[in-house]
Structures are given as C-alpha cells and as structure tokens.
Amino acid sequence: MNKDQSFLEQINFPSDLKKIPESQLQKVADELREEMIDAVSVTGGHLGASLGVVELSVALHYIFNTPNDKLIWDVGHQCYPHKILTGRKARIRTLRQGGGLSGFTKRLESEYDPFGAAHSSTSLSSALGIAVANKLSNKSDNVIAVIGDGAISAGMAYEAMNNAGASKTKMIVILNDNDMSIARPVGAMGTYLAKIFSGKIYFSLRETIKLITSAFSKRFTAKAGKAEDLLRSVVTGGTLFSSLGFYYIGPIDGHDLSSLIPILKNARDSKHEGPILIHIKTKKGKGYSFAEAAKDNYHGVSKFNVKTGEQFKNTNKLPSYTKVFANTLIEHAKKDSKIVSITAAMPDGTGLDIFRKEFPDRTFDVGIAEQHAVTFAAGLATENYKPYAAIYSTFLQRAYDQVVHDVAIQSLPVRFAIDRAGLVGADGPTHAGSFDTTYLSTLPNFVVMAASDEAELVRMINTSTEINDRPCAFRYPRGTGLGSVLPSIYEKIEIGKSRIILEGKKLAILNFGARLHETLKAAENLKKKGVNITIIDARFAKPLDENLIWQLATTHEAIITIEEGSIGGFGSHVVDFLSKKGLLDNNLKFRSMNLPDIFIDQDTPDNMYKIANLDAKSIEEKVLDVLNSNIVLQKQK
C-alpha cells in the first residue's frame, strides 16, 4: 500500500480493501464517511441512512467475497458507501444525476448489485431466492441481506422470514436497527425491538464470540443445546426471530468494527443449516453532527454546505401540491368529524404530518404496509367514515389487489390521494408515478381525477368529500404549484365534467393532468404560426365527459390526448369510446401522447419529460404533424 495516499485512495474494489490491516479499518470507515458527505453535498440524496451503515459496509466487504457472495441492501437508499467501495468511487458525484449513478442499487449498474431495489422489504425474499438457487446448483457462496427495522415490519418481510425459517436454507440477515426509516417506525415490531435494548447493554465482544462459536459448532449435546437456547432467549430477547426459524444473534453495536468483524466471520464460516439473523444497532446520520442533530437525520437532503450543514433550498415560495392537499383536507376535517387520514410510513412526504398536528386522533400511520393501509381504509368506510389514503403513486401499486378486491368490488368510498403522479426526477423509474391512471381507470365504478394545477386539486378534494357511493382517486405531481389562486372549499366539480380552456379549429387537445401548462405553451407558439387549437382540461379519466368528446369528434378534424401516464390510461379510454361510437369511421384523426414504453432513468423532471416527448416543443410538433401543416418548424439548436 502507498503510505503517501489515504486508505480510500487505494481502494477501488473490495479486493483492495482486503489488503488493509484489520486494525486500520476504522480509518477506512472515517475516510469513507468523509468522502460520502462531501459527495452528497454536491448531488443531494439519501445521506442519513448511508452514514449509519459506513462501518457495516466496510465490514461486509472485508469479510465476504463479493460479488461472488451476494450482498443485498433493502430499499437501497443506504448503499452509497457500498457504491464507493465497489468500483464506483470516481462516479459518486454523478449520484442521482442524468446519466449518472442511481440513488439505489441497480443490477445494470454493477455486478456488486445482485438485486435492484428502491421499494422496501424485498431483500429477504430475493435473498432467499438466490440462496435456494445456490443450494440447487451446489454453490457455497454466501447470501447476505441488510434490512432496516422499518422495512422488516412490512408484511412481505414476515412472509419471507416464515418461508426462510422453514426452508433450512443458509442465508445471513443483518437487521440494521436505527429506530428510524423515513419517519420513526410505528407498530408492534418497533416496540419489540426497543424492548430488546431496554433491558440490557450490548453484548461484550467476548460474550458474543463465545455464544456464536458454541451455536455454530457442528454438534453439541441436547443438554448444552437447551442451555444455549435458554441463554440466547434470556440474554437477547430474540424469541420472535428464533420462533420463525432464524438463529438470532445480538443486539450488537453496528459502529464497532471490533465486534462486527469477528461476528460476520463466524457467520460466514459456520456450518449452521438455516437462516441467521444478526441484530445490530446503528445511528442514522452517524458521524456528521448536523445529520445527528436533525429531526430526520438528513434522510433526504438537497445540496448542502458541509461546514455548516445548511441545505440549499429551492427559493420558489409557491406552496407544494402536497401542502395544498394537506391544508385543504384540514379545512374539510374541521367541518366533518368523519374525515380521517391514513399514511403508510410517509407522513412528511404526503403532508399528513400537517394534518396530524390538527387531528392527531384522526391520523393513522400504519407503517410500511400499503396493503394493510388500503383494507384498513375500507374497513373505516364500511362504518361511514371518510378515509383519505394518501399514498405515492409508485407505492400504491403494492396494494393493487386490495384496491380491487376490498375497495372497488364492494364499492366502498375510500378516497385515494395519489401524490408524486408522473415523473419525479432524481429518484428515477422506481419512484415514477407512471401507472396509476391505467390500473385505477380499468376498475368499474371508480372515479379517477387528475389535477392540472393546485386550484383544480382543491376542487377535486372538495368534490371527493361528497362521493359517498364509490371509491375515488385524485392524482397530483411532485413539487410546487403554478401560483394559481386557490378556490374556497365549497367549489366543487360535476362528476365527469371537463372544462374548456381554449376554443379553436380543426384540432382539439384533451389534456389529463399536470401537462396542461406545457400544452398552453405549445398553443401560444402555434398561434404565432396561425394555428388555433381547442384545449380541454379533461379532469376525469373515469367517468369520461362523453358528451364533450362526441362534440369535439364531430366538429374537429383531429383529437390528441395528453397524459403523464402509461398506455392503457386516459387516452386508451377516449379512443375506446370513439371506436365504440363509430366516430373514428368519419376520417377523424386521433393521436395519444403518453409516457413511452420504457423506464426513464433519473434526471431533472424537465429533461425526463423531453425524453418522454411530453414537453411543449413535442406537443407543438405533434399538432403540426397531425394537421400535415406546411409550416416548417425550426429545429432547436
């Protein structure tokens, strides 16, 4: 090793890390933490979770033979130190940027990412699948899954643990317990883990090694085995995991490499048949004072000043769609005691932290459990309450069966507030709200709305309060509004009624959702070229404004639908209506503009919409193409 270089400068891959003396690993961790703080200060991202697993990342890559040994990070927002150690150090300042590194693990990015993530609680299932594949192939490679205390509370994690314990397949699970996911974990599992820590201090290293060594020995007498089980139950409190068939070890200090290294080594070398769970205690934001002191431990940060911790916030003073939703719901809840709100571990992200301050007894954070959240809401609806399930579009996908079976079939008036609809920027395809219009508007008797601006969002919330005979959903984008004047909470929309924004000739655009602003930009440019078009704010994907669509189809030469969602959504329903009514037989031209049949990688939202051909320029070009105009559109240089 070059003595003139820092340790981290000499590490490009885990094979380089293994050359460093064990006694120097804490220095590696310190340098790794410093490098990561500096990198994220430039890019923004999920800093707090990554700070908490620096020592763990060093220990795992030091002990295990990655990438042959498979290391799976649940969610993946804590994977930044892992990326730096696995050949991506030189690109770490491209994190979450267009053409750069993903903010999560991604199979196409590196062989050290055996399973892509971004949604929680998938690591145990995928790890078990890989471990079983190894067993079937007679491979001895290790499989390690790292899952947080919030993610392990989700139903999918329990299903995986139940299966893994019964399968007798060796896999190593690291339970990274930092008492914090995005929001503070809720529910019985969090209480259970807290009780494990409340009764005692961490194992001493000597006690831990002694216990592990005895547990992993090939054979021990029945009497000794019973004594060991009793000791493990009394000392660790890991009865639940033991009952599920895991050999439980812990809790131990996840920032103490002198404990982590020998424990991981023993787990690696053990002949134990069946899954092993190592419970470690870490601190989110560890090693950066500003993160440690912050309420959210810098879970997700914008660019910031390393010396002061000050984040460079957007100077836009307009309220976010999320805040408009929360404040509007609060005003209705003041007048209607039946209104309640539900979030699945995202109170801050959905605005329900604001609602909770006003109505703590009417706000329910059910943890990372979207399926339960939906059916819980359905139960409330049967008793004449008015539940608002505020869930990101990308996360609502996880509860689709419950939406269909427990809500839609029973026609229960659950209101779905669908945040982060459309493309979302730096979080990339895993968090894009691309499919909700399609998967909801296929359901009978469902009302599906999309807000074109924050004023329309208020009207849709107002309208939803009186939809008492069926489920409804209103979708809205991430970020700030357009500065529209907000209406009163008494201003509602007739169900299935569109609004006419501009009246023109020959071609009509039916816009569904937040692309209306770009559509109006396109219309301004077209007007300068002598092309005047009709623009409709459709508002509803279901039910459609069939009377208006019929009118447009019989008075215009062409119709274009625009939506920030996948095929099968609003445009598909419009063309289905036109086809069934025979309106396409009269030389009516029809085009749909929706998200392309690809997953769009992280970038700025503006660039993502350009890639999707849903920006003003693309809309303008589509109109001219449909009209077969002789106007030559000057290409952008």
Q: Which residues are catalytic?
A: 284, 370, 398
Give CA–CA dist 386/402, Å, rounded: 17
Give CA–CA dist 20/22, Å, rounded: 6
Q: Evaluate whether 64 touches 117 at the Cβ level (below 8 Å).
A: no
Concatenated DSSP letters of 577-598: HHHHTTGGGGS-EEEEE---SS
Q: From the CB of residue 68, how many other CB atoms can be counted at a distance below 10 Å?
A: 11
Pairing of strands 540-542, 447-450: antiparallel
Work out the widest C-alpha separation in the chain, in whole angstroms. 92
Give CA–CA dist 314/466, Å, rounded: 36
* H-run or E-run covering 472: strand 472-475
Q: Evaluate whether 442 touches 434 at the Cβ level (below 8 Å).
A: no
Closest Cα partner for 172 from 231, 108, 127?
A: 127
> From start to end of 70-142, where are the E strands?
70-73
Q: From the CB of residue 127, how many other CB atoms can be counted at a distance below 10 Å?
A: 28
- The set of residues, in sequence order, having a beta carbon less than 8 Å from that of 62 and lying 6+ positions away, is 14, 17, 18, 22, 25, 261
- Strand-by-strand arrangement of the 540-542 sheet: 363-365, 339-343, 386-392, 415-419, 472-475, 447-450, 540-542
Q: Evaluate whether 285 touches 48 at the Cβ level (below 8 Å).
A: yes
Q: Evaluate whether 604 touches 582 at the Cβ level (below 8 Å).
A: no
Closest Cα partner for 373 from 330, 334, 417?
A: 417
Say what angle helices 570-580 and 546-555 make with each other, to 10 degrees. Answer: 70
Q: Evaluate whether 112 touches 153 at the Cβ level (below 8 Å).
A: no
Q: Evaluate whether 173 touches 214 at the Cβ level (below 8 Å).
A: no
Q: Evaluate whether 471 touches 412 at the Cβ level (below 8 Å).
A: yes
Tell me the two tokens of residue 260: 């982590």
Residue appearing with tokens 């009780």: 195
CA dist 489 → 52, 335, 337, 450, 538 (Å): 44, 11, 16, 18, 21
Give CA–CA dist 521/502, Å, rounded: 12
- The set of residues, in sequence order, having a beta carbon less than 8 Å from that of 404 and lying 6+ positions away, is 443
Residues in the chain: 637
CA dist 612 → 101, 343, 507, 617 (Å): 20, 30, 22, 12
Q: Evaluate whether 54 touches 37 at the Cβ level (below 8 Å).
A: no
